[in-house]
Structure 1
Amino acid sequence: MQTVYWVLIFFSTFFFMEFMAWFTHKYVMHGFLWSLHKDHHHKDHSSWWERNDLFFIFYALVSIGCFLLWQYENIWFTLPIGLGILAYGIAYFTVHDIFIHQRFKMFRNADNWYAKGIRRAHKIHHKHLGKEEGENFGMLMVPFKYFKQK
């Protein structure tokens, strides 16, 4: 029975992280920590590293904290939570940093309806250079209107 709970917690955490990414992006990155996210919208630097990457580091540390609680405090459910956060981080990094922003030159020719919709939504998000009036703060799930053919 514990396996069922383990899988349920893992997938629940993964999908909850999409909400957390949306919430953090809309209210924290485009809010009081705009100073860290701003360099992601304004490419006025030549560095591969962006201050915006600190948000990724934060969630990595939360995931590591879950692993440590599982390992040293024997709290079993923190392992699937930590793995769910890690899996979402890998998905986010793959879609956002590799596929959309091409920080690594991979997946350039992805041309299916989902890839086009995600790219379209993110492009609309980045057309707003300031912290106000933004839209499309999610990453893996965006409004259906971006999946429609033009």
Structure 2
Amino acid sequence: MNVLINVLLVLGTVALMEFVAYATHRWVMHGPLGWRWHKSHHEETHGPFEKNDLYAVCFAVVAIALFAAGSLWWGRLTWIATGVTLYGLIYFIVHDGLVHQRWPFRYVPRKGYLRRLYQAHRLHHAVEGREGCVSFGFIYAPPVPDLKRQLQGNKSIRPELRPEVSPRQDV
């Protein structure tokens, strides 16, 4: 029974982290104070790191604190910390690797869930600045046609990335 509870804590934390990440991305990173770090993520990157990577450090500090608290006070916090860490790994692989191509090789998904995730985040970056962006999640992506409709008429969309609303799914 303990194993089941621990697995559920890890998986539940991963699911909850998507909501935490969405809220942090939308209202902190795209907010007036958080934009100072996150702006680097919406600009051309020079070198392997950007100021936005400091958010990953902040989440890592939370995970480390949870691991420490779990080892000192309540062991279940260790499994919650494992869920936070697993979410960070998924974020690193999907967001940094797949979407932003921060890997030493390039892969663009052609179909399925990964394609939708890739397109949704590309549409997030179609807007100049912090206002008017769509799709703030990292492992969930709304349907691409819905995002294109939300962007339609937005004056701050980069002209080269202006999406046409059509049944076609490519960006």
In the superposition, the TM-score normalised over structure 1's length comes to 0.90
Please list, as runs of the form range in 1=range in 2, the aligned pairs for 1:23-62 lying within 5 A after superposition.
Answer: 23-31=23-31, 32-43=33-44, 45-62=45-62
Distance 1:107 1:12, change over 3 A: farther
Please list, as runs of the form range in 1=range in 2, the aligned pairs for 1:108-147 lying within 5 A after superposition.
Answer: 108-145=107-144
Deviation at 1:34, TM superposition (A): 0.3
**Counterpart Cα distance in 2 of 1:37 and 1:13:** 24
Larger Rg, first or second structure (1 or 2): 2
Say whether the 8 Å CA contact 1:121–1:146 is kept in structure 2. Answer: no
Specify the SS of the correspondent of 2:51: coil
Name the structure, 1 or 2, with higher relative contact order (CA <8 Å, separation 6+).
1
- Identity within the alignment, %: 33
1:98 matched to 2:90: no
Gap runs ≥5 in structure 1: none
Distance 1:9 1:146, change over 3 A: farther
Deviation at 1:113, TM superposition (A): 1.0
Say whether the 8 Å CA contact 1:10–1:83 is kept in structure 2. Answer: yes
Letter in 2 for 1:36: W
Gap runs ≥5 in structure 2: 147-166
**Counterpart Cα distance in 1 of 2:144 and 2:122:** 14
May I ask how many residue pairs the two structures share in their alignment? 148
What root-mean-square deviation, in Å, do the aligned CA atoms of Structure 1 and Structure 2 show? 1.8
Q: Which has the higher helix share?
A: 1
In the superposition, the TM-score normalised over structure 2's length comes to 0.80
1:15 matched to 2:15: yes
